[in-house]
Amino acid sequence: MRTIKLVELAKTIRSKNAGTDKITFDIIFREKENYEIVKASKTITRESVVQLFGIPEERICDFVEFDPAYAIKFTIYRTSPSGSLGERDIFGCQQYPPLLDIEVPVE
């Protein structure tokens, strides 16, 4: 089966703060077709996020496939609050790169 990288299908892949204790991730598609391909493939799920980021499932506080916006969104709890001593990404904007290389099966 042929695959395409998620970064080639999505318009936007990003992460950002969702308050001091959370980081939210957005995968937004321009075309409904691409969104439906990714959604149907079940490539991005709570379980795949756990594996991809090496986190326990309890750190995922939200996971939504939002059809009206052709978007997949999930939010994780930070291990320490934004801006706390030793925290390395105050804005949460450098957490999305593992999503870029996800291979999505296409027919």
Summarize pLDDT for 10-60 with one digit per residue, the tens.
999 999 999 999 999 999 999 999 999 999 999 999 999 999 999 999 999
Instruction: Determine the Cα–Cα distance for residues 92 and 81; give it in Å rounded to an integer.
Output: 11
Sequence-distant (≥ 6) Cβ neighbours of residue 9 within 8 angstroms: 29, 34, 37, 38, 104
In a domain, 55, yes or no: yes
Let me know if residue 104 belongs to a domain.
Answer: no
Round the CA-based radius of gyration of the chain to a whole number and report it. Answer: 14
For the chain, the domain total comes to 1
Can you give the CATH number for the domain in which 9 is found?
A: 3.30.70
Q: Within a domain: residue 47?
A: yes
Give the E-state strand segments of 1-107 in sequence order. 2-5, 12-17, 22-28, 60-66, 71-77, 103-106
- pTM of full prediction above 0.85: yes
Question: Does residue 107 sit within a domain?
Answer: no
Instruction: Tell me the C-alpha distance between 71 and 47, whole Å.
Output: 18
Residue 8 lies in a domain: yes
Domain that holds residue 37: 2-99
Paired strand residues for 22:
77
- Note whether residue 105 is domain-resident: no
Encode pLDDT of 50-91 as tens digits.
999 999 999 999 999 999 999 999 999 999 999 899 888 999
Whether residue 78 lies inside any domain: the answer is yes
